[in-house]
């Protein structure tokens, strides 16, 4: 726009110069002596033909940034775009509240019988009923054989013996099963099982405190002796006892024998102080 205005001013000046009166434009003849007064200006001529456009001027300096304009009115809503791809599955939400039960449906067809269940626990016993009538008497059965074995023997006379001599007994009080042999003074097991054996030995002060062993097939089970604890005692008799529970097999033998020293004496008499007893506790 500024270039165009400058162009119009340039054209106007050029036009003004071209409207000078011919008389003023012509030089005075050479033979003129002096110049007369200027004449009245003529009427301005008509505008000339516009000249061609001049060259473009240089770009002006960049102006300062204007103030931010006010926010315009929202534009119209655009058309709905195509659906986007399906996103990943979200986390499972909390279980919702139970809904209201629906109406009862029609009764279904009768199903097949299921497998038998486990037997239930036993119920409480009922009240005892009235006794029934007595049945006929049965035939007599075989009585089981009761295994019995027991003995008890005593000395009625004193005996002096050496180490390992068998203690002899002269009086038999009990011999159930005849398992004690009075000739050998040994008990022989007839029924395998557990047996109890007891023995008591008496001596006098002059008999050097004899010792006696309970033996099973030459193996010592236990023993005792008649040592006097109180040496100041005036009692002439001394005694000692012992008991053992022994498991025996058929054929095992049990007996009493002398121990410690040779020449010891075990007292015996009519009072039967010295004794040897045993019995079957239970059979196998």
113-161 per-position pLDDT tens digit: 878 888 888 888 888 888 888 888 877 756 567 899 999 999 999 999 9
Identify the pLDDT of residue 129.
81
Match 């020293």 to its residue by tokens.
261
Identify the pLDDT of residue 226.
80
Identify the pLDDT of residue 217.
96
Q: Rounded to an integer, what distance in angstroms lies between the CA atom of residue 151 and that of residue 163? A: 25
Structure tokens belonging to residue 33: 């002596």
Structure tokens belonging to residue 129: 């009923």
pLDDT at 261 over 50: yes
Identify the pLDDT of residue 44.
78
Q: Rounded to an integer, what distance in angstroms lies between the CA atom of residue 190 and that of residue 37? A: 196
Q: Which of 200 and 144 is assigned the larger pLDDT? A: 200
pLDDT at 193 over 90: yes
| Phi, then psi, of 205 in degrees rounded to 5 | -60, -25
- Between vectors from CA 270 to CA 268 and to CA 274, what angle results, nearest 5°? 35
Q: Rounded to an integer, what distance in angstroms lies between the CA atom of residue 282 and that of residue 284? A: 7
Considering the entire predicted model, what is its pTM? 0.49
Identify the pLDDT of residue 157.
94
**Residue 203, class by beta-carbon neighbours within 10 Å (0-12 exposed, 13-18 middle, 19+ buried)?**
buried
Determine contact, residues 259/203, Cβ cutoff 8 Å.
Answer: no
């Amino acid at each position: 726009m500024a270039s165009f205005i400058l162009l119009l001013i340039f054209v106007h000046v050029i036009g003004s110069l071209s409207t000078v009166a011919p008389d003023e434009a012509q030089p005075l003849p050479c033979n003129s002596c002096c110049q007369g007064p200027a004449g009245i200006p003529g009427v301005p001529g008509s505008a000339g033909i516009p000249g061609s456009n001049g060259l473009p001027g240089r770009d002006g300096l960049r102006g300062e940034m204007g103030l931010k304009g006010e926010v315009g009115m929202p534009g119209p809503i655009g058309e709905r775009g195509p659906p986007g791809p399906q996103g990943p599955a979200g986390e499972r939400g909390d279980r919702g509240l139970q809904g209201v039960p629906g109406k009862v449906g029609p009764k279904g067809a009768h199903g097949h019988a299921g497998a038998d269940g486990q037997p239930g626990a036993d119920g409480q016993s009922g009240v005892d009923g009235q006794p029934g009538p007595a049945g006929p008497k049965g035939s007599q059965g075989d009585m089981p054989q009761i295994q019995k074995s027991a003995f008890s023997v005593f000395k009625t006379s004193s005996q002096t013996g050496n180490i390992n001599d068998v203690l002899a007994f002269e009086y038999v009080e009990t011999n159930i099963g005849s398992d004690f042999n009075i000739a050998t003074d040994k008990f022989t097991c007839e029924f395998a099982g557990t047996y109890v054996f007891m023995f008591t030995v008496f001596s006098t002060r002059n008999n050097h405190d004899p010792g006696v062993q309970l033996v099973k097939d030459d193996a010592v089970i236990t023993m005792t002796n008649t040592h006097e604890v109180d040496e100041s005692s005036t009692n002439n008799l001394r005694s000692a006892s012992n008991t053992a529970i022994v498991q025996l097999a058929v054929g095992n033998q049990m007996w009493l024998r002398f121990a410690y020293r040779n020449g010891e004496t075990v007292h015996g008499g009519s009072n039967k102080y010295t004794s040897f007893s045993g019995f079957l506790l239970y059979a196998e």
